[in-house]
Amino acid sequence: MSEHADLPARLQAIVDDFRSLAREEKLESLLEYSEQLPAMPEQYRTAPLERVDECATPIAIATERHGEAIQFYFDIPPESPTVRGFAAILSAGLVGLTPQQVIDLPGDLHYSMGLQSALSPQRLNGMYFMVLHLKRAAARELQQGR
């Protein structure tokens, strides 16, 4: 049974997959996802981006609105594959969501995936703050009426 039955289907499928994996498999899967993280679009490479300062890994996030949907792009160094992997999961799992659906995401998504068995508390905190930043960006989008 899923802890967060209200997750969007694509994200729920990823969460369920991770929950079924052993510790080492979780790490391997994060590494595989890290290789799938889309590159930051050119127009954001020189623009000021939102930073996740609470994370030890340097993370920059760009937000775009496409009609009712919101999309996020991440800039995370390749030397941080687990964080990149989580960002790639968010990137894949949040496709097509509205800002309100992003706001409604659980902050403990990484725990639902069972990542506490594979990652340090510092990495988990960084993931929490990454989700928190996405939720804040989505709230700003709603406030701006975009």
Helices (H), the chain: 9-19, 23-34, 81-93, 99-103, 109-112, 121-143
CA distance 122 to 20: 23
Contact 101, 51 (CB under 8 A): no
Please, what is the end-to-end C-alpha distance for the chain in angstroms? 36
> pLDDT tens digits, residue range 17-67?
999 999 999 999 999 999 999 999 999 988 788 888 888 889 999 999 999
Contact 9, 17 (CB under 8 A): no
Q: pTM value?
A: 0.91
Is the sign of the CA dihedral 119, 55, 68, 44 positive or negative?
negative
Structure tokens at 126: 């960084």
Contacts of 93 (CB under 8 A, 6+ apart): 8, 10, 11, 14
At the topology level, CATH places domain 9-143 in Sufe protein. Chain: A (3.90.1010)
Residue the block writes with tokens 């992997």: 85
> pLDDT tens digits, residue range 97-116?
999 999 999 989 999 999 99
**What is the rounded average pLDDT of the residues 57-86?**
93
Contact 99, 138 (CB under 8 A): yes
